[in-house]
Amino acid sequence: MSRSRPTPPASLSPAARPSRRAVVGGGLVLGITGLLSACAGGQVAGPDVRLTGPPQQGGRLRVGFVGGGASDTLDGAVATNLGDIARAINMYDTLFHFDDDYTLQPMLATEMTPNDDASVWTVTLRDGVKFCDGREFTADDVVASVERIIDPDDPKSGAASLAHLESVTALDRLTVELRLNASDTSLIEVFAQYSLIMVPADFDVENPVGTGPFMLDSFTPAQSTVLKANPHYWGAEGPYLDEIALLNFNDTDALINALLSSQVDAVAQIPSALADVIAADTRMRILDSETGMWLPFTMRVDVEPFDDERVRQAFRLAADREGMVEQVLSGHGRVGNDMFAPFDPAYPDFPQRTQDIEEAKRLLAEAGYPDGIDVELVTAPIQAGVVEAAQVYAEQAAAAGIRVSINRMDLTAYWGDYLNYPFSQSFWYTRNFLPQANSSMLPDSPFNETHFDDEEFIDLVRRARAETDDAARGQLIEQAQRIMYERGGNIIWGFADQLDAYQAYVGGLKENATGVPLSGFQLHRVWMGDLA
């Protein structure tokens, strides 16, 4: 459950030209540019530095990110913020995972095979896997993990995706059977989500045990987490590092300052407005990954004024999507079309929605708002680019008579009630259509931010999950996506690249399509090297 680009100094960007992009975040860039120059001895550019040699064993990686609070958790099954997700991916494993190209790959399971109608799945586990305390990982642990996730008294984030699970049974030491009360061809993708962690039957969140490449050393909510290498790690690669320090920062200014002053080795989610400026420092590297990450505006379809489909359409038509990608993401992204899951093979090619101010005005007048409409947009710095997107949309929508007042909240307050705001924002990493719909578009979804409850949509999702023929399933998904396109509660204006930054001596980071920062937080592949 990423910015307006100010114009950098001519010495950094000869092609830069003045524009209203300088309005959002301009102070941050000027301040960081000054620090960058100071850290480089007054010279931003200089001889390039290169990482030399093969991966090296040992060392400590310090990773910085914005966010976190008193609700930070060591339980990967309820991960929400960046720190939670980083802990989940590095301390625990799932049965499957998506690789850097967003292709499904085995993890703790080597195979997951359905029967003819995908109502019974047989999971074959990897032999020789151990938990960080040295105990063997077996089918009994899978049963315990799944039962923990779907516990009706304390359901975890993945529970809604497993609502149709009838039974989970260990057939032998390395074989598990999953029986469903409804067919589901996408079940294997559910078990590739980072929240579907596998843990021992006696799992204790105060003393967590997992099979991941790292294990807990210390944890202070809202401040820091220290992980150390798991001596029993089963994977073929890594971990190369002895230790990882995950460090929380209160704001982006502090985060970038920490990077440029070498207090951290890598940072997750830099403002796109700063990518070129940071890259000008030869000590730094930018990791720019094309992803399916989306930063929607969410309209609750069950409350005024968004219970009127015409209002929702008007709000979508007020957005200049190309302008938002340019201003908010500094071009580091792609235009969206009010549908998610662009990496899904069934993603449809509908006519691209563009800004249409006159039609937006007409629809508002038809819905009873001939003089325009006043709305509050609740936002917070939950992801790079979210607050900036709010500011840009408010400017764009004003032309259609949509008068947006922005209520910027701090992170703790925002997450405390975020499912109840009539007009707000969210973010999602790359997912295919069916897992995403399960998480956010159904009445029983854990994160139904728009309170969407469309009978036709629900039926199409149910039928798509049960359809074993790829082509037929794709047609059902296309129909469901059209409902979202025409009457959904999301304004999906674009798909953001994931932008991270790191010191040049950090090796092993690569482009990753999942949308999760720093190569999907797969830090077991990262190593500290020497520079030439």
Reduce the secondary structure of 33-74 to three states and give it as a string. Answer: HHHHHHHCCCCCCCCCCCEECCCCCCCEEEEEEECCCCCCCC
Angle formed at CA 63 by CA 59 and CA 64, multiple of 5 degrees: 155
Tell me the pLDDT of the chain averaged across its residues. 90
pLDDT band (50, 70, 90) for residue 278 = very high
Helix (H) or strand (E) holding 359: helix 357-366
> CB count, 10 Å around CB of 133?
12
Give the three-state DSSP class for 530: strand
Check whether 8 has a pLDDT greater than 80.
no
- Most distant pair of Cα atoms in the chain: their distance: 68
Q: Indicate the pairing of strand 266-267 with strand 60-66.
A: parallel
Residue 530 confidence (pLDDT): 83
Check whether 473 has a pLDDT greater than 70.
yes
What are the tokens at 528? 């500290």
Q: Which residues contact 320 (CB under 8 A, 6 or more apart)?
A: 354, 355, 396
Angstrom distances, CA of residue 8 to CA of 122, 260, 275: 56, 17, 11
Distance of CA 135 to the CA centre of its chain: 32
What are the tokens at 61? 């990686």
What are the tokens at 22? 């300088």
Check whether 70 has a pLDDT greater than 50.
yes
Q: Identical fold at 93-190 and 292-495?
A: no
Q: What is the mean pLDDT of residues 347-355?
A: 97
Residue 48 confidence (pLDDT): 59
Check whether 224 has a pLDDT greater than 90.
yes
> CB count, 10 Å around CB of 207?
10
Residue 69 confidence (pLDDT): 83
Angstrom distances, CA of residue 268 to CA of 2, 271, 293, 304, 336: 12, 10, 14, 37, 23
Check whether 135 has a pLDDT greater than 80.
yes
Give residue 303's identity as a one-letter amino acid code: V
List pLDDT tens digits, range 226-245.
999 999 999 999 999 999 99
Record the pTM: 0.83
Q: SS3 breakdown of the chain: % helix, strand, coil, rounded to 5?
A: 30, 20, 45
Helix (H) or strand (E) holding 249: strand 243-249
Residue 217 half-sphere exposure toward CB, CA atoms < 13 A? 14
Spatial strand order of the sheet with 109-114 comes to 109-114, 120-125, 175-180, 165-172
Instruction: Give the lowest-confidence range in 40-44, 105-109, 246-250, 273-277.
Output: 40-44
Q: What are the extents of the domains in the chain?
A: 93-190, 292-495
Nearest CA-CA partner of 442 in 458, 426, 429, 459: 458
Instruction: Give the lowest-confidence range in 20-24, 169-173, 360-364.
Output: 20-24
Angle formed at CA 498 by CA 312 and CA 387, multiple of 5 degrees: 45
Q: CA 344, CA 294: separation in Å to the nearest integer?
A: 14
Structure-derived torsion over alpha carbons of residues 270, 272, 273, 279, reported in degrees to the nearest 10? 70
Q: What is the mean pLDDT of residues 326-349?
A: 96
Check whether 188 has a pLDDT greater than 90.
yes
Residue 31 confidence (pLDDT): 53
CATH 3.40.718.10 fits 292-495, yes or no: no
Residue 32 confidence (pLDDT): 53
Helix (H) or strand (E) holding 177: strand 175-180
Instruction: Determine the number of helices (DSSP H) and then strands (DSSP E) in the chain.
Output: 15, 23
Q: What is the mean pLDDT of residues 524-528?
A: 96
Check whether 42 has a pLDDT greater than 60.
no
Check whether 56 has a pLDDT greater than 90.
yes
Give the three-state DSSP class for 89: helix
Compute the Cα dihedral for 366, 372, 373, 378 and give only its sign. positive
CATH topology of domain 93-190: Dipeptide-binding Protein; domain 1 (3.90.76)
Residue 194 confidence (pLDDT): 94
What are the tokens at 514? 């999942």
What are the tokens at 503? 């010191």
Residue 415 confidence (pLDDT): 86
Q: What is the mean pLDDT of residues 284-292?
A: 96
In the block, tokens 């094309």 appear at 290
Give the three-state DSSP class for 381: coil
Check whether 257 has a pLDDT greater than 60.
yes
Residue 6 confidence (pLDDT): 27
Give the three-state DSSP class for 521: coil
Which residues is 503 bridged to in the sheet? 284
